[in-house]
Amino acid sequence: MACSPDSHKMHMCALKAAGSTDDIACLSASPTVKCGNCGAEANSPENVCNPVPLK
């Protein structure tokens, strides 16, 4: 699944690449989804490229 370049900058993979550990901690404190591409977990589907609900 493709994501827009504008929204991608707040995705977990982009934040990790940028070294934004504080943002990552904030956006993954209570994860509800994971990325189907890289496996990163996030609180919101808006913060991953390919959201898959956590089971």
- Taking only the tens of pLDDT, the chain with its 55 residues reads 456 666 677 899 999 999 999 999 999 999 999 999 999 999 999 999 999 999 8
Q: Is 3 exposed, middle or buried (0-12, 13-18, 19+ CB in 10 A)?
A: middle
At residue 52, the 3 state secondary structure works out as strand
pLDDT at 7: 63
Specify the amino acid at residue 53: P
pTM tops 0.85, yes or no: no
Distance in angstroms (rounded) separating the CA atoms of residues 55 and 51: 12
Q: What is the pLDDT of residue 44?
A: 95
* pLDDT reported for residue 2: 55
What are the sequence ranges of the domains in the chain?
5-53
b or e along 11-34 (b: 16 or more beta carbons within 10 Å of the residue's beta carbon)? bbbbbeeeebeebbeebbeebebb
